[in-house]
Amino acid sequence: MIFNFGDTQIKCQVIEKSTFSSQHSGRLLRSLSIQIVRDGKDLHEHFLSLIRNTKEIDSLDELTSALSHWKIESYSYSHTDGSAIYYHTIKVKEFELFQVTSLEVGELRLSPYFYKEFFDGDSLQIEAKVILDGEKQDVIQKLIQNNDEITVIRHGIDEQPRLMTLNHSYWSKDGSQVKHGINLADVNHKNKSPKSFDYFEYLGSMVVKTMINQATIDVLLTTLVTKGIFSDAEIAKMNEDIREKARNNYYDSFQVTDIDTN
């Protein structure tokens, strides 16, 4: 195999090979141990300067001309005193360059202008940005507020559906449309706690404020029933409206001037 170390092409011998399944697409990828022989100290030191400044390399298959991408995991070399030959052994792991063509979230088909996905342990996390009309924004808002498990398909990466939840994300107005962040997490990640101390501090203050506000509302509504101003049914309807208003206010709190600059 021919590997590209920056602008330098070097023919290498594969001495070990294994396969593993990609977390992202499920397709089989390769782990290799490759050997490079350098004849003479100058060539040896030149190669050392290449490998020390390289984290990723490409390879070109001589038969199919297929281009593959690799991360360097480790390297070592051996040399016998009195010999001009240096044997370099490098362990590399194949990775994918993928691009989502569209993102299916429930019944919505979205076209992200920004997309990133990564794994937190075994849980897939997706961060994307899309442009929506008002109707699609309403659907996204309801999906976020309901916090239900929804089917997601990452077209162009993996056609297999997976269950995920849609979390709150920043959004901003863009003329008659809306730029909206899409923050998705595997359902097995749903109950994990964020690691940010700032988030905990913010969440704690929000919980305290919510408890105080709810207690105030409960006292006022109970007083209104006691005085015969409203019936129990009317109070129940008011409580329902208050909860809906609170959910909408919380969603609106994520509006910023521009999600691409915030």
Q: Residue 68 belongs to a domain with what CATH number?
A: 3.30.200
Average pLDDT over the chain reads 86
Residue 52 CA to residue 117 CA, distance in Å, equals: 28
Are residue 119 and residue 175 in the same domain, yes or no? yes
CB atoms within 10 A of CB 166: 24
Backbone angles phi, psi at 40, to 5 degrees: 110, 150
Digit-coded pLDDT (tens) for 71-83: 999 999 999 998 9
Where a domain ends, among 43, 66, 95? Answer: 95
Q: What percent of the chain has pLDDT over 90?
A: 57
Higher-pLDDT residue of 208 and 212 is 212
Task: Give the pLDDT confidence score for residue 211 in this predicted structure.
Answer: 61
Work out how many domains the chain is built from and give that number. 3
Higher-pLDDT residue of 214 and 238 is 238
> CA distances (Å), 127 to each of 73, 119, 130, 169, 175, in order?
27, 11, 10, 9, 23
Please classify residue 105 by burial: count the beta carbons closer than 10 Å to its beta carbon, then call 0-12 exposed, 13-18 middle and 19+ buried. Answer: buried
Is residue 257 included in any domain, yes or no? Answer: no
Range of the domain at 248: 197-252
- Which tokens belong to 90? 């490098």
Is residue 258 included in any domain, yes or no? Answer: no
Q: What is the largest CA-CA distance in the chain?
A: 103
pTM: 0.69
- Is 8 in a helix, a strand, or coil? strand
For the chain, how many helices (H) and strands (E)? 4, 15
Is residue 125 included in any domain, yes or no? Answer: yes
C-alpha dihedral sign at 122, 71, 100, 256 = positive
Q: Which residues lie across from 39 on neighbouring strands?
A: 85
pLDDT category at 207 given cuts 50, 70, 90 is: low
- The predicted model gives 1-22 an average pLDDT of 92
Higher-pLDDT residue of 82 and 127 is 127
Are residue 73 and residue 6 in the same domain, yes or no? yes
Rg of the chain, C-alpha, whole Å: 28
Digit-coded pLDDT (tens) for 231-250: 778 777 877 777 777 777 88
Are residue 174 and residue 239 in the same domain, yes or no? no
Residue 105 CA to residue 144 CA, distance in Å, equals: 11
- The predicted model gives 106-121 an average pLDDT of 94
- Is 78 in a helix, a strand, or coil? strand
